[in-house]
Amino acid sequence: MLGLIFTYALTFGGSVVALFNPFIGLLIYICFAIISPPSLWPWAVPQWHFARVVAIAMLIGWLFKGFGQWNFGRSRSILLAFSAFFFWAILSAFAASNQEMSWTYVENLAKIFIPFVVGMTLIDSLPKLKQLAWVILLSLGYVAFEMNLSYYQGYNRAHLLGFAGMDNNSLAIAMVAGVGLAFFLGVGTTKWWQRMVAWIAALLMAHTVMLSFSRGGMLALIVSMVASFLLLPPKKPKHILALVICVLIGLRLAGPEVSDRFLSAFAEAQERDASAQSRLDMWEDMWDSTLRHPVLGVGPDHWPIVAPQYGWELGKEGHSLWLQTGAELGFPGLLFIAAFYGLCILRLWTLVRKRNADQDLDPWFPNIGRMVIAGHIGFVVAAQFVSLEGLELPYYMALLGAGALKMMPQPDPSSVMARMPRFAAATSVFLGKG
């Protein structure tokens, strides 16, 4: 009953607020995209277009706000890469054999692309970035809590059922992406109770990855934790201790079944299980399809209907987001989506390093960079093992990072000169003032 009240309150109350403050509507839309109320509380919340109602109100409010601010600063290239990917999917859809499947794919991608653009134009302050980060964390953390609660009540929902149309592997991708964000959100906050909320959420997400028995998810979780350690700001003992404690608790929670499942991914070819071997064979076939259709691919969401040409059953997914994207949208589509995530990581990396040289920069900016980098590194690794084009979380984490780049203060020319005494002295000599 509480879930139903929560859903209706955010849908209709939030829609009214969104007419005057579209950013609130965006936050609610992102929350619904992550928790999927009909999937989280299926016994109470009916299947209905809750997110669509909020989205319409958000767009109306955005119109009243004059479509926000379109000065994207250092995040412009990230938005351009996403725009290129979206419009390439449209172009590929025109040439695809199954128009209904193609345009369904484009429609679902538009439900992510349009809110992303809205968010980029509405983010204009650091408090909004913090609000976005907490909405993502609390939404994903609550889903992880429900997965853990179900497990300890005797039913491993994460492994057997998945969540919101996602199987166990896809759910693991979302959780891996959230672990790094949760850890660094705890590092960045100064209030002890907020730190505890963030780190407990990180543990719940990490344990959900283990409960999913997803080998790719487990490997990505390890990579994400290593990246988190390397991304730590000047290594403070309390932060290192927190990371070590999280790792030790994770190892303790991982039982022998989880360990055996993970280690099976590294078995010799003759010992490898059928699932792992078939995935490798599928990757080879998708690469071959990409080479055969290098420009537009076979069409958006078309690999499942092309798979029988390679001896797979109809409807077989490719079990690799990157290779399936190449097969469906060709090399340009793969390049655009890789550029979207790659540019986000690279530009945020410069932001993280900038903190060491610019002590006037608010520490929240590089800390947001660490959140997104750690989350995206985990996502990039995990997505190699699962096909899930419609997973919205990584896009909204990219929105968080792109928003930080947009909001990062531009250097004052006078302060730059002051910090370059040799250049200033050389300039003075050149001008005849030395």
| 54-112 pLDDT, tens digit each | 999 999 999 998 999 999 989 999 999 999 999 999 999 999 999 999 999 999 999 99
Check residue 350 and report its DSSP letter.
H
Q: In the predicted model, is pLDDT for residue 323 greater than 50? A: yes
| Nearest of 126, 79, 118, 26 to residue 367 by alpha carbon | 126
Q: What is the pLDDT of residue 255?
A: 52
pLDDT classification of 226: cutoffs 50, 70, 90:
confident
Q: How confident is the model at residue 321 (pLDDT cuts 50, 70, 90)?
A: very high
Q: 416 pLDDT band (50/70/90 cuts)?
A: very low
Read off the DSSP letter of residue 432: T
Q: Which of 19, 70, 78 is nearest to 372 (CA)?
A: 78
Q: HSE (CB half, 13 Å, CA atoms) of 8?
A: 7
Percentage of the chain lying above the pLDDT 90 cut: 59
Residue 427's pLDDT is 42
Calpha distance 402→389 (Å, rounded):
20
Domain boundaries, the chain: 1-67, 74-408
Chain segment 376-388, per-residue pLDDT in tens: 998 998 888 887 7
CB count within 10 Å of CB 262 equals 20
Identity (one letter) of the amino acid at 214? S
Q: How far is CA 250 from CA 109, 179, 188, 209, 222, in A?
A: 34, 12, 22, 10, 11
Check pLDDT > 70 for residue 274. Answer: no
- Provide the 10 A C-beta neighbour count for residue 146: 19
Q: Which of 131-145, 174-188, 230-244, 291-305 has the lowest mean pLDDT?
A: 230-244
| Cα 22 to chain centroid, rounded | 22
pLDDT digits 0-9 by tens, 298-307: 999 999 999 9
Tell me the two tokens of residue 393. Answer: 């979380």
* pLDDT value, residue 213: 85
> Residue 417 pLDDT > 50, yes or no?
no
| Confidence class for position 358, pLDDT limits 50, 70, 90 | low
The average confidence (pLDDT) of the chain is 85
Q: Is a pLDDT exceeding 60 seen at residue 314?
A: yes
CB 237 within 8 A of CB 190: no
pLDDT (0 to 100) of residue 232: 79
pLDDT of residue 385: 84
Is residue 434 very low, low, confident or very high in pLDDT (cuts 50, 70, 90)?
A: very low
